[in-house]
C-alpha cells in the first residue's frame, strides 16, 4: 500500500503544440497573497552561513545513482526567463526551486508510467524547522497534463488546465498559474553541498513511510515529488542558475 499510493496521481499527457510563447502571469486562487510574494528582489550570492536559502532560481542540474554515476541537465532559458519544458530532460523529471521575498516555491515536470505522461506543477514550500532547511508541502497546483485518474477525479479538470502552459508545453518559473489543486503532505529537507543543495532522501522516505497509511485513510496523497528518485537510491542536486 505504501508504494501503491503513487498510482493515485498518475496523469495523462494532454496534446499541445511546442510553440514558444511569452507566458503572462495568471492569478491563482490566492493571487493577492501569493503573487505579492514574487515581487522583484535582488539576487544574493550563495551562502551557507544561515538556515535559509538565498533569493534566486535553483535548478536540479544533476542526479547521481548509488554507483556514483551522474547525469547532468541544463535549464530551459528563453528571453532571459526560465521554463519547464516537455522537451527538456528526455523523460527525466526536472525541478526548479524559486526563492523570493522569503517564500519558497517548487516547480516540477515529471513523466509518469509507461506511457510517459507529463505532469507540470508548482507548490509553495512552507518552512517548518528553523534549525535546518525542512519544508512542508500541503498541496500541488497541477497546471500541465490532464485527465488525471484516481480518488481526486475532477470532471472539470480539462477546463481548469486549459492554460497557456498546457497549450505551449511551457511553464514559466515564477508564474503561479491556476490549475487543479491536489492535496498532499510532503516533508522535504534540503542539505547544503559545496555548490548548492541536495534533497535529503533518507529523511524524505522516512517521513513518507511514517505518514502514508494515515494519509490514505484521509484521502490525501503523499510522496509526489521525489519518491521515485529517492526510492531508487538517486541523489538530486540543485544549483543556483540566477
Please report the pLDDT score of residue 20 as a whole number: 33
What digits encode the pLDDT tens for the residues 183-209? Answer: 888 999 999 998 899 999 999 999 988
Total residues belonging to the chain: 242
pLDDT in tens, 214-239: 877 777 777 789 988 999 999 999 99
Tens digit of pLDDT for each residue in 156-188? 666 777 788 888 889 999 999 988 888 888 999
Tell me the per-residue pLDDT of 10-40, one tens digit each, with 9 for 90 and over: 333 333 333 333 333 334 344 444 444 444 3
Burial 174-185 (b: 16+ CB within 10 A, else e): bbbbbbbbbebb
Amino acid at each position: 500500500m505504501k508504494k501503491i499510493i503513487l498510482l493515485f496521481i498518475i496523469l495523462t499527457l494532454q496534446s499541445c503544440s511546442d510553440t514558444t510563447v511569452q507566458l503572462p502571469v495568471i492569478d491563482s486562487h490566492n493571487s493577492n497573497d501569493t503573487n505579492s510574494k514574487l515581487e522583484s528582489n535582488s539576487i544574493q550570492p550563495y551562502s551557507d552561513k544561515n538556515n535559509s536559502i538565498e533569493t534566486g532560481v535553483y535548478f536540479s542540474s544533476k542526479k547521481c545513482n548509488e554507483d556514483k554515476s551522474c547525469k547532468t541537465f541544463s535549464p530551459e532559458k528563453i528571453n532571459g526567463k526560465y521554463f519547464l519544458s516537455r522537451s527538456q530532460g528526455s523523460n527525466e523529471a526536472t525541478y526548479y526551486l524559486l526563492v523570493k521575498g522569503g517564500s519558497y516555491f517548487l516547480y516540477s515536470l515529471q513523466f509518469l508510467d509507461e506511457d510517459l505522461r507529463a505532469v507540470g506543477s508548482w507548490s509553495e514550500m512552507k518552512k517548518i524547522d528553523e534549525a535546518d532547511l525542512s519544508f512542508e508541502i500541503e498541496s500541488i497546483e497541477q497546471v500541465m497534463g490532464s485527465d488525471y485518474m484516481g480518488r481526486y477525479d475532477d470532471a472539470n479538470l480539462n477546463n481548469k488546465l486549459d492554460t497557456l502552459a498546457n497549450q505551449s508545453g511551457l511553464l514559466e518559473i515564477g508564474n503561479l498559474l491556476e490549475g487543479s489543486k491536489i492535496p498532499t503532505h510532503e516533508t522535504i529537507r534540503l542539505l547544503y553541498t559545496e555548490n548548492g543543495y541536495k534533497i535529503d532522501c533518507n529523511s524524505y522516505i522516512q517521513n513518507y513511510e511514517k505518514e502514508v497509511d494515515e494519509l490514505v485513510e484521509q484521502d490525501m496523497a503523499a510522496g509526489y515529488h521525489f519518491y521515485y528518485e529517492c526510492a531508487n537510491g538517486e541523489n538530486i542536486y540543485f544549483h543556483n542558475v540566477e
